Amino acid sequence: MRDKLLITGGAGFIGANFIRYLLENTDYEITNIDALTYAANMENIIQYEGIDRYQFFKCDIGSKKELERVFDKKYYAVINFAAETHVDRSIQDPLPFIHSNVNGTVNLLEFVLAGKANKMIQISTDEVYGSLNPNESPFSEETPLAPNNPYSASKASADLMIRSYYKTHNLHLNITRCSNNYGPMQHKEKLIPKVITNCLNDDTVPLYGDGLNIRDWIYVEDHCRAIHLVLENGRPGEIYNVGGIEEKTNLDVIEYIIKELGKDLRLVNKVPDRKGHDRRYAINSSKIFRELGWIPEVKFEEGLARTLKWYLKKEKGSI
């Protein structure tokens, strides 16, 4: 019999890509649940309907009652992608971030504790480590948590709950902390899709502050491969950093896309900086390389070419 996986947040960007990865590379039976917030896109997952080892339920992980329906069976693993994810929104209204990112994670942990899954992987973020100066070493798994905005604070809180359930109950739990993902199916509120869609519409492209904030970029498929390795071989209780080794300023990313699309650099429009904007994220992934043999395979130029191709096809209506 096939092992069953419960994927949460699979109508969002990374979850939908991970489901595609699983369908193409494994024979797991997949249950996908998503609350279908503004960030979800049913177009991302409609392609999987009809596949006999895939099913979807609308379900809010912040509600234990709703979760009871999907935990009517036992899973091999829960992989928790479901979250409120946009920093700007968390500054405007943090409560949905507590509901989904903190309460939702604890609800899932309670079902794992009750024996409804053998293991759980929490999909976290490098943002829990806070911000680096230009000359500081990249974040390792030992870097203290120092989140600077309500989104990263809610993700760090969830990570601490995971840690506490591992220490208290000795459950098989893992956390992955990944850098900025890009690729097909991302919501256009995020930097790379926003730049692409604005350019395609000849709209201006907003640039926060001086544009010199640095992010490490990873192609989403590389992230999916890392999560799969953690699912199969991660040691209980361990945290794994996952980075693309592609540090770039926001300005570099924006200008690169504008040039690739043959548009005018004058589309860039400086806007006031985000409050508390972290200056630099960079991540040391040597642990996942050492223990699980993972390294990123897709260079930024290649990943971006694939991403642009996907958005251009979407624009033409052929996806």
* Least Cβ distance, residue 62 to ligand NAD (angstroms): 4
With residue 269 as reference, give the H or E element that holds it. Answer: strand 268-271
Q: Give the pair of three-digit tokens for residue 76.
A: 């091999």
Q: Give the pair of three-digit tokens for residue 182.
A: 């890009």
* Least Cβ distance, residue 123 to ligand NAD (angstroms): 4
Select from 6, 31, 56, 60 the one that contacts ligand NAD (CB under 6 A).
60
Name the residue with tokens 């739990």. Answer: 173
Strand partners, 123: 176
Any contact of residue 159 with ligand NAD (CB under 6 A)? no
Tell which phi-psi region holds residue 293, choosing left (phi > 0), alpha (psi between -120 and 50) or beta: left
Select from 5, 45, 61, 229 the one that contacts ligand NAD (CB under 6 A).
61
Q: How many residues bind ligand NAD (CB under 6 A)?
A: 30
Instruction: Determine the residue with CB nearest ligand NAD.
Output: 12
Any contact of residue 105 with ligand NAD (CB under 6 A)? no
Closest CB to ligand NAD among 162 and 267? 162
Any contact of residue 83 with ligand NAD (CB under 6 A)? yes
Any contact of residue 125 with ligand NAD (CB under 6 A)? yes
Neighbours of 243 (CB within 10 A): 27
CA-CA distance, 170 to 263, in Å (whole number)?
54
What character string, x for contact with ligand NAD (CB under 6 A) and - otherwise, covers 170-199?
A: --------x-xx-----x------------
Chain center to CA of 165: 22
Nearest CA to 254 out of 181, 201, 185, 204 is that of 204
Any contact of residue 19 with ligand NAD (CB under 6 A)? no
CA distances from 186 to 28, 81, 169, 171, 242 (A): 24, 14, 36, 32, 19
From the list 60, 127, 221, 255, the catalytic residue is 127
* Least Cβ distance, residue 35 to ligand NAD (angstroms): 3
What are the start-end ranges of the H helices in 149-241?
A: 150-169, 191-200, 220-233
Any contact of residue 282 with ligand NAD (CB under 6 A)? no
* Least Cβ distance, residue 1 to ligand NAD (angstroms): 27
Any contact of residue 82 with ligand NAD (CB under 6 A)? yes
Any contact of residue 149 with ligand NAD (CB under 6 A)? no
Catalytic status, residue 127: yes
**Contacts to ligand NAD from residues 295-314, by CB under 6 A:** none
Stretch that binds ligand NAD, among 80-88, 248-256, 257-265, 292-300 (CB under 6 A): 80-88
**Contacts to ligand NAD from residues 218-247, by CB under 6 A:** none
What are the start-end ranges of the H helices in the chain?
A: 13-25, 64-70, 87-92, 95-97, 104-113, 150-169, 191-200, 220-233, 250-260, 286-292, 300-315
Select from 5, 6, 7, 14 the one that contacts ligand NAD (CB under 6 A).
14
Angle, in degrees to the nearest 10, between helices 250-260 and 300-315: 50
From the list 29, 34, 126, 159, the catalytic residue is 126
Angle, in degrees to the nearest 10, between helices 191-200 and 300-315: 50
Catalytic residues: 126-127, 151
The footprint of ligand NAD (CB under 6 A) covers 8-9, 11-15, 34-37, 39-40, 60-62, 81-85, 100, 104, 123, 125, 155, 178, 180-181, 187
